[in-house]
Amino acid sequence: MTLAEVARAAGVSASTVSRILNGTANVSAEKREVVERTLTRLNYRPNVLARGLASGRTMSVGVLTQDISSPFYGDTLRGLEQGLARSGYHPVVISGHWRAQEEMEAIDFLVTRRVDGMAVLGGVAPDERLREVAGQVPLVALGRSVPGLEAQCLRLDNHSGAYAATRHLIDLGHRAIAHIAGVPSHRDAQDRLSGYRAALEDAGLPFDPDLVLEGDFLEQSGFLAATRLIEGRRMFTAIFAANDQMAYGARLALYRRGLRVPEDVSLVGFDDLPGSIYTTPPLTTVRQPTYEMGVAAAACVLGLLRGEPPELPPLGVELIVRESTARRRL
């Protein structure tokens, strides 16, 4: 069922049908009615490819996420979906798995797919490439800041979040607070580590390198780190993990060694993954407004598409105190 066929069946020209479809110009009421009837009668579906080729717009927004099955960006994707809904634009999502090479390919994929706009969620693709792309289509980046593209980047205050988490432990009387950090090359990991250090410093507590272990943001690394911590010579009464997934791993390590949370060791995570409400005990963590970030990103892209200047609202992080932290005993 092509547009031309509809036009013939309705006894008008293809242009008229197209105009009705797009509201491009005025059409007499009678013709409009005839056309609309045949449109539904023939169950016409426009060919997006032809449309995109002719108009130069595909009504789609590319979304580069990192791991489609990772809980972390899930809510953000939902927010993006929601923010794009009823705008006429559709998200096209593809994942880069935190590998620069793959991310580049994914970006190429989206570009050749002629997406009208783009949202980049984290990742390690070179800033340079993102700037290039931003020159071609409206782009917004979440979870990373690209020099020269600051207005279109939304990063959260990881430093403050980590500071609040550590401060919370300090307020509970903890003095020996371990930190399971993320990959050192990762900006978020750096900021969270520095927030941790700053909180210690402000409280006049010494920074002990032996209490900081490096992880990779996955559960397994949290498990390993906590295990090493337990077996190590340093005493500690609390752990601040740079993300919830590593906190889960640490939780298991503690369980294995018979250490209770929070009675023996307090535990704090970062991200507030959906699952963190249901861990035993429910995890104290730093919530990132991931859903809202997705909505904001969608709104921003939509605005750019309309020619408006980029606008991303400031979004803060929030400490969520649950039951994995308690006042230090003894």
Applying CB under 7 A, the residues found at the interface with DNA are: 2-4, 11-16, 18-19, 21-22, 24-28, 30-32, 44-47, 50-51, 53-55
Q: How far is the CB of 17 from DNA (least distance, A)?
A: 7
| Cα 52–Cα 54–Cα 59 angle in degrees, nearest 5 | 25
Instruction: In whole angstroms, give the CA distance from residue 145 to residue 159.
Output: 15
Q: How far is the CB of 40 from DNA (least distance, A)?
A: 15
Is 303 one of the binding residues for a copy of itself (CB under 8 A)? no
User: Does residue 159 contact residue 198 with C-beta atoms inside 8 Å?
Assistant: yes
Instruction: Look at residue 276 and give its three-state secondary structure.
Output: helix
Binding mask 235-274 for a copy of itself (x = CB under 8 A): -------------xx-xx--x------------------x
Which of the residues 85 through 144 are near a copy of itself (CB under 8 A)?
90-95, 108-109, 111-114
Which of the residues 208 through 237 are near a copy of itself (CB under 8 A)?
219, 223
286: enclosing H helix or E strand: strand 285-287
User: Does residue 319 contact residue 286 with C-beta atoms inside 8 Å?
Assistant: yes
One of 166, 227, 279, 325 touching a copy of itself (CB under 8 A): 279
Nearer to a copy of itself, 91 or 310 (CB): 91
Sole window of 33-41, 65-73, 202-210, 230-238 interacting with a copy of itself (rule: CB under 8 A)? 65-73
Nearer to DNA, 11 or 148 (CB): 11
Is 69 one of the binding residues for a copy of itself (CB under 8 A)? yes
Torsion from C-alpha of 167, 172, 173, 174, nearest 10 degrees: -60
Nearer to a copy of itself, 34 or 320 (CB): 320
Measured between alpha carbons, how far is residue 21 from residues 51, 147, 161, 231, 282 in Å?
11, 41, 49, 69, 53
Measured between alpha carbons, how far is residue 90 from residues 15, 231, 238, 272, 291 in Å?
26, 51, 45, 28, 17
Nearer to a copy of itself, 19 or 251 (CB): 251
Token pair recorded at residue 309: 């200047």
